[in-house]
Amino acid sequence: MILGMIAAASIALRGDRGFASPSACVNAYYQAVANQDVEAMRRCLADPARRAMADDLDRGKSQLQALAKDLKNWVQTDESSDGPKAQLFIDERRADKRLRIRYLLEEQAGSWLITQIGPSQELPEHIPYNTHVSKTPEGP
């Protein structure tokens, strides 16, 4: 019981200090975009990515609104790591298309941070978003 409380407290405190895994960092980044929280988004980015996105971050909430506008869902598809560096891919579902975006991350001072975003690749549509079930092909 006591160990459980200590573990829960350390996990709660970890959020203030950084991200325990690449997945946690990228998930926090997408949550910040969805919530239009510029400061939370900054906390996910290492200096190289922060510099690359400086203009977007300075525009603040309006830029996050543009990023989140057609974003319907995201899912992590692949992750690989080599010591303090990691790469993962996120498939984004947007209203009119699907994208696969590469994220490069690095562990810095015990926290994973995004160092580079992109490039993105458009994925083929199997069934377009918002298609009525009566218009979908039958299963195999």
Tell me the mean pLDDT in the region 101-109.
95
Yes or no: is domain 18-135 CATH 3.10.450.50? yes
Task: Work out whether the CA dihedral 33, 63, 41, 99 comes out positive or negative.
Answer: positive
Task: Work out whether the CA dihedral 55, 58, 59, 65 comes out positive or negative.
Answer: positive
pLDDT over 60 (residue 10)? no
Contact 26, 88 (CB under 8 A): yes
pLDDT over 60 (residue 45)? yes
* 65 vs 81: which has the higher pLDDT: 81
Give me the residue spans of the domains in the chain. 18-135
Contact 113, 45 (CB under 8 A): yes
Tokens 């992750």, located at residue? 79
pLDDT over 70 (residue 140)? no
pTM of the model: 0.74
Question: Is residue 39 classed exposed, middle or buried when 0-12, 13-18 and 19+ CB atoms within 10 A define those classes?
Answer: exposed
